[in-house]
Amino acid sequence: MADLLQLNQQFLQAFGENGQNIQYYYAPGRVNLIGEHTDYNGGYVFPAALTFGTTLLLRPRGDRVLRMASANFPLTGEIDLDSIAYREEDDWMNYPKGVVKELQNRGKGPAHGYDMLYSGEIPNGAGLSSSASIEVLTAYALLAEGGHGIDRTELALLAQKSENEFNGVQCGIMDQFAVANGRENEAILLMCDTLEHRHVPFDSGDCVLVIGNTNKRRGLVDSKYNERRAECDQAVHDLRSAFPDLTLLGQLTPEQLEQESGRIASDTVRKRAKHVVEEIARVLESVRVLEKGDLNAFGALMNASHDSLRDLYEVTGLELDAMVEAARMVPGVLGSRMTGAGFGGCTVSLVRKDSVDGFKAAVADSYTKKTGLIPDFYVCSIGGGAGRLDAPV
């Protein structure tokens, strides 16, 4: 987590005056541990909040102006609470602005302005939910400052709606939900369309999570995402001759799909359906083995998930495969897989603590030789959700 004393100094440099009345809030990033491309197919995902994220320092003002600054970007701004609108040139500030607008739409907008300094530890564009972290953080802080009660599911929905409608990004609910509802050493079994969920113990023992950022720009994600959704819809269409009420692949068991997969005309579409249905089964099996504390079994499920995403769903690519292959060669690695939409972004590996230094060195060397890119690594555990921080002393 960020150094609050250091951020205090940056806050005073940005906004002047003294250090009185500054309040401190935090929201994590998130990683999906297993369950990829299942959400839009009516299946479970299994995200967790991370032990790094975004910190917000804010101080009330006597007027109707929000002054925003970031420890990560030079761009600052002054926003009138009575005329909030999306402006492309406002860049990162559009995320908190969207949340403020959504709060106003619900009759819970701030009654006065604030000076606001954001500090993020989440790499942008890596698929670890920097935008969701900012959104949930802003909503939590302004609701708390305004004396409003906070329902964490509503908090996630508010943040998602602001990103969908104000920023025009049609994201699902998983990111905001995990950021809002994270608990230390617990992952979240989540059905995205119904928000049915439960927290599952994740006792990592002598292991940590290592997030590997491929630093590959994910240029194919949107087009391939739409293509995969269409293929899944086609699979449902083809299978309705056996299952007339079928609307989503997530309604099938692996046994049902195996029995009737010949009804799917295309080999490619058959592979897509097989990944989805088996991946949902892997998520449920992950819950079972983690409740028994079997990290080795969970690592094997991580490996199987990546292999399915590579061979059946075909959304990995050279960089993700190179990083996962290198990770699995390192002693002390229980499992490694891509996380997120694919075609770049990040991997997540479960690594014994005493192997982490060797892991970073060996994976970086192998990965750079294969791809010419230099990776970044983030060592973390599963942390808590959004909340208020104590003032530094």
Query: Token digits for 62?
Result: 């006597």
Give the sign of the dihedral formed by CA 243, CA 249, CA 254, CA 258.
positive
d(CA 366, CA 111): 54
Beta bridge partners of 387: 26
Return d(Cα 364, Cα 375) in angstroms, integer. 6
Strand partners, 250: none
What is each CA distance from 58 to 21, 70, 138, 161, 373, in whole angstroms?
A: 8, 12, 10, 23, 38
Count other C-beta atoms under 10 Å from residue 254's C-beta.
14
- H helices within the chain, ranges in order? 4-15, 94-105, 130-145, 152-161, 174-181, 221-239, 254-260, 267-291, 295-311, 318-328, 356-371
Query: Of 39, 115, 175, 238, which one is the catalytic site residue?
Result: 175
Residue 80 a catalytic site member: no
| Helix residue ranges per DSSP H, 106-220 | 130-145, 152-161, 174-181
Burial 155-176 (b: 16+ CB within 10 A, else e): bbbbbbbbbbebbeeebebbbb
| Helix 94-105 and helix 130-145, axial crossing angle in degrees, nearest 10 | 40
Contacts of 222 (CB under 8 A, 6+ apart): none
For residue 318, which of 178, 216, 177 has the smallest C-alpha distance? 216
- CA–CA gap between residue 169 and residue 321 (Å, rounded): 28
CA–CA distance, 323 with 253 (Å, rounded to integer): 31
* Residues designated as active site: 175
